[in-house]
Amino acid sequence: MFGRGATKAQEQPNAPQQFDQLKQKYQTVLNSIDQQHIQLQNLHVQDNKLFVRGIAPSEDAKNAIWDQIKLVNPSYDDINAEISVDESRAQGATAGGSSTQGGKTYTVKAGDTLSKISKQQYGDSDEFMRIYYANRDQINDPDMIKVGQQLIIPPDDNA
């Protein structure tokens, strides 16, 4: 149901519950992703594993995520993380949201939801979690966005 693996998710009827359980288990990893300024590109459940894909601004940031994953689950049996490094992001990562790393900024209008914005931007409403994770500094709940908010829309890496 999350990301472009939606067809796989339909084959797994309990995928939303499993996603919530794995997200809760790996919450410290997700917090670390945010703290390390890693651009999260994909987060979904497939084949009973949490798939995480993102771009780190440095090897140190990438290693910090792997250290956090090891603390949660040293066997890696329910997570698959693909963290690449883009050194060009290192300077922009501290710009506090003014640098969108190739993405764009969107101003929330009346009637907008993250799913609706995702459909407009990516052609797929299931990609709303990418927008949510790119804006976790200002969105606590993906169902609660406010008119006038400036959201970062990550680039569509599948375009």
87 with 116, same domain?
A: no
**Band of residue 100 on the pLDDT scale cut at 50, 70, 90:** very low
Residues 110, 63 within the same domain:
no
| Helix (DSSP H) and strand (DSSP E) numbers for the chain | 7, 5
Question: Is 14 found in the same domain as 43?
Answer: yes
Residue 87 and residue 53 in one domain? yes
Three-class HEC string of 92-120:
HCCCCCCCCCCCEEEECCCCCCHHHHHHH
For the chain, what is the domain count? 2
Q: Which of 158, 127, 7 lies closest to 15, judged by CA?
A: 7
Is 78 in the same domain as 123?
no
User: pTM of the entire structure?
Assistant: 0.51
Residue span of the structural domain in which 82 resides: 1-94
Q: What is the side-by-side strand order in the sheet with 79-85?
A: 39-46, 49-56, 79-85
**Does the pLDDT value for residue 87 go beyond 90?**
no
Indicate if 50 and 10 belong to the same structural domain: yes
pLDDT, tens digit, 9 for 90 and up, residues 128-140:
888 888 888 888 8
Residues 74 and 109 in one domain: no
Look at residue 157 in the predicted model and tell me its pLDDT.
67
